[in-house]
Amino acid sequence: MERDAAFRRRGGIQAYLVAAFSIAYAVVYLGFVRTDGNANASALAWGLITAGSLSAMIATAALGSYIGGASGTFLAAFGVGYSLLAATHGMFAAISDLQGYAGLDLAPTDPRGFATFGLAGLWSLIAGLELRAHGGLRPVYWQLAVAAGIDLILLFIATVTGSTALILVTGGLASVILGPAFWAMTGRLLSTER
């Protein structure tokens, strides 16, 4: 049991990193990529998505361990899966930008952000519903997870349909408010567990 608690604490640190990478991504994307289309800034933004996804791989598994049981095992496996696909997408896009192939936006491993946004949103939605049944947690925690999940699913739909306005609204909420708040709360929950 002590090893599980140690893993969850390490997962808590990774959850904090997911929140930090998310905010850093928003700053780079909104401040440099969107305003002037700088390929190096775009590569950095994709690199931040990659780093955040790799941190999410550990954080999702740790939260699954915290939840426990069959649902926790499912969430851990699902989280690791979507995180690896999202990290691959981020790295594909970063390399494409650095090599001058910015037109290769459609990653073969994650078409239109299916894992990065769609599956991540579904994971967050399911995690929120599982956390709701977990006693001793403040309702705002699971409500935030559900809201973040719905927002990410809407971001995927906006990406597929090419709705720039909806992408900016849902993407901004995901990367600046809902995502960082959820991951910071997850970091606190997992880091303080004994």
Q: What is the pTM of this model?
A: 0.93
pLDDT value at position 136? 85
Q: Domain segments of the chain: what residues?
A: 2-191
Tell me the two tokens of residue 41: 């800034």
Annotate 26-35 with b (16+ C-beta within 10 A) or e (fewer).
bebbbebbee
- Tell me which residues of the chain have a pLDDT lower than 50: none
Q: Are 155 and 121 in contact (CB under 8 A)?
A: yes
Q: Are 71 and 48 in contact (CB under 8 A)?
A: no
Q: Give the other-Cβ count within 10 Å of 103's Cβ.
A: 7
pLDDT value at position 39? 82
pLDDT value at position 33? 82
pLDDT value at position 108? 66
pLDDT value at position 150? 98
Indicate the DSSP class of residue 33. I
pLDDT value at position 191? 94
CA 110 to chain centre: 14
pLDDT value at position 105? 58
pLDDT value at position 1? 55
